Amino acid sequence: MSTRESTHQTTETFHGGRLIARRLKAHGVSKLFTLSGGHLFSIYDGCKEEGIEIVDVRHESTAAFAAEGWAKVTREPGVCALTAGPGVTNGMSAMASAQANHSPIVVLGGRAPAMRWGMGSLQEIDHVPFVRPLTKLAATPESTAEIPGLVDEAFTTALASHGGPTFLDFPMDYVFMEAAEPQDALEGLPARASRGADGASIERAAELLKGAERPVIMAGTDLYWGHGEEALLELAQTLRIPVFLNGLARGCVPADHELFFSRARGQALKGADVALVVGVPMDFRLGFGGSFGDQTEIVVIDVAEPVRPHPRAVAAECYGALASTLSDLRAAAGGRALGSEDWIAGLRAAETERREAEKVELDDDRAPLHPMRLYRELGTVLDRDAIVIGDGGDFVSYAGRVIDSYQPGCWLDPGPFGCLGTGPGYALAAKLAHPDRQVVLMLGDGAFGFSGMEFDTLARHGVNVVGVMGNNGIWALEKHPMEFLYGYSVAADLRPATRYDQVVEALGGYGELVERPGDLRGALERAFSAQKPALVNVLTDPTVVYPRKSNLA
């Protein structure tokens, strides 16, 4: 830090890395996820001076996934710093994931010096053109003085609906030069918009609801980002509407609430006469709109207009702040029950029947284990506010089917981009944000190969995540469908019974192998009490085929 004299006042100046850190601090950032790189030294120095914790990982993709995980469990922007060239390109999958999930993250990149641009500096490449399609903002400052305003813009843009990733890279010479921080710099994060959908849209949706005999709510990730869970629950309870949830919306209505359903989803969506589709696109998870009945009147409710056209006609659209929109809709629909108790009772009967049918698999005593038996045992040791993270294919599909969530932000999976390797980064961020809660990482053995070295990161930082692996020695999501189509499979086998638990032990964690159902409960209890990151490596049956036509997503 130095000073610059004037005839009227003394103005502090800071090097570019410190300017970045001061803006991060102003926006409430407490953690910077990164992997060490020389282009970032000035930013690290600034963060050290401003009291921002630097959390270093073993691969840049994990740094970026950790930023997204932080956003998912806090609903505040997560921030990572990636060194120039391969550091930034390694983070691109996570940027694409954040884009698909509407996760607000700010990605800071290193960049070769502007004064030497085009001369072939180390890791010199223009990141902006290929990062831009994955982000809401991608930019490079043209001077040190531009840095603070650009960082403020990145945060504002990341949070604006729909949320998503932003990217800034900083020429190495600019972050070592000095400039003054603007006096009019933004103070903290912008306030969330509170204006709901317009009155005409609300009235149209309310008229449809008033005439409904079989209404249903299908809500997804933007409900969570829009802080709409309380308003949704009040609407559902007041109007007596069954609720189904996917993505980050899981837990926004507790799994033991009388109006929450999961197993009866196909029946409910096909049989509904009016469906409120709240904060979720009609993508592959909803059959591109085909999950609803041909005669179902669809009311789309979201924080903003969709990024792509609806795949089928909708009867009404309500765009605006979700809490206000849902409250206004509840009032406009009459603020009373819609007379749908027979509808609710029928869905509850179907839900109960399907849950009862699962008991055969939940009680299965085979060895290697059926994944459902694993999840039965896990359910007995999970706290109500446990954060469960899925990173895998069929193994995580089973988890999504039977693991219940009771609070918002307690279920994290890769989302529609479907990128493996997200889990350790998500888990790192979740445990740092909520150190007193259980954080459980459900891992396929295939997914472990993407970022298993991050157990070293967890151990170094004292982050006691419990990993539970379904180890079937195959890429089940690909092997079984390929064999169904062709009668054979290729590129779908892994080494059977690999001792990933021993890998985790070598990286400083606790590991245990489970081969029989009767040994699982004790292994889980020991993992939770180990006081270090742990992996329970469970051998699961490779012949088990997940029912891909399941109504769950």
pLDDT tens string 161-208: 999 999 999 999 999 999 999 887 766 666 666 788 999 999 999 999
Its domain, for residue 406, covers 358-539
Residue 537 in tokens:
């490596």
The mean pLDDT value for 91-100 works out to 98
In a domain, 545, yes or no: no
Query: Are both 216 and 340 inside the same structural domain?
Result: yes
Q: Which amino acid is at 541?
A: D
- Report pLDDT for 302: 96
Helix (H), strand (E) at residue 443 = strand 439-444
Give dist(CA 90, CA 262) in Å, integer.
Answer: 36
Do 396 and 527 have their domain in common? yes
Of 122, 145, 180, the position where a domain reaches its end is 180
Strand ordering across the sheet containing 510-514:
411-412, 387-391, 439-444, 466-471, 534-539, 510-514
Instruction: List the one residue out of 20, 550, 487, 540 whose CA is nearest residue 266.
Output: 550
Other Cβ atoms less than 10 A from the Cβ of 42: the count is 24
Q: Please report which confidence band the pLDDT of residue 121 belongs to, taking 50, 70 and 90 as the band edges.
A: confident
Q: Are residues 141 and 254 in the same domain?
A: no
Q: Is the pLDDT assigned to residue 4 strictly greater than 80?
A: no
Residues 491 and 516 both lie in one domain: yes
> What is the domain count for the chain?
3
Verify that 330 and 373 share a domain, yes or no.
no
Q: What CATH number is attached to the domain comprising 247? A: 3.40.50.1220
Task: Write down the pTM of the prediction.
Answer: 0.94
Predicted confidence band of residue 489 (pLDDT cuts 50, 70, 90): very high
Task: Compute the distance between CA of residue 491 and CA of residue 104 in angstroms, rounded to an integer.
Answer: 35
Any domain includes 281: yes
**Same domain for 221 and 275?**
yes
Nearest 5°: phi and psi at 211? -90, 5
For the chain, what percent of residues have pLDDT higher than 70? Answer: 95
Indicate the pLDDT class of residue 119, thresholds 50, 70 and 90.
confident
